[in-house]
Structure 1
Amino acid sequence: MNESLLRALVPSVIGVLVRRGASFASAEDAVQEALVRALETWPDDPPRDPKAWLVTVAWRKFIDASRAESSRRNRELAVEVEPPAGPAPATDDTLRLYFLCAHPALPPASAVALTLRAVGGLTTRQIAAAHLVPEATMAQRISRAKRRIAEQRLDRPGDLPTVLRVLYLVFNEGYGGDVDLAAEAIRLARQLVTLTGEPEVAGLLALMLLHHARRASRTGAGGRLVPLAEQDRTRWDTGLISEGVTILQTALARDRLGEYQAQAAIAALHADAPSTSETDWTQIVEWYDELLRLTDSAVVRLNRAVAVGEADGPQAGLAALCDVPPDLPRHTAVRAYLHERAGDLTLAAELYAEASRTATSVPERDHLTREAARVRQVPRR
Structure 2
Amino acid sequence: MINLNILRNTIYIPFCFGIIFLFPIGIKAQDAFDSLEVKLPKHYFNTVIVLDAYYKPNKKLNSSTDEINKRLKSYGVKQFGFSFHAPLYTKDKTNKDNSIRNTHLLLTGNFLSLQPSFDGISKHNLIKFGIGMRFIYNTGEKGVWFVDVSPFVTRDIAYPKSSPYYRLASTIVYSHNFNDKFNLRLGVTKSFMWGNRLYLPFIGLRIGRLDKINLSIQFPRNVSLNIPMGSKIFFSLYSKVQGGMFNFSNADSLYAKYDVGTFHFTRSELNSGFRFDFRVSKNFNFYLASGLSTRNNITFYSENANKTLSGSYNKYFYSEKVPASLFFNFGLVLKLGKTRAYYNNKNILDAANMNSTLDNNGNGNVQIPLTPRKKSDFNLKSIQDLVDYNDF
TM range, smaller chain: under 0.3
TM-score normalised according to structure 1 size: 0.19
As a proportion of its length, which structure holds more helix? 1
TM-score normalised according to structure 2 size: 0.19
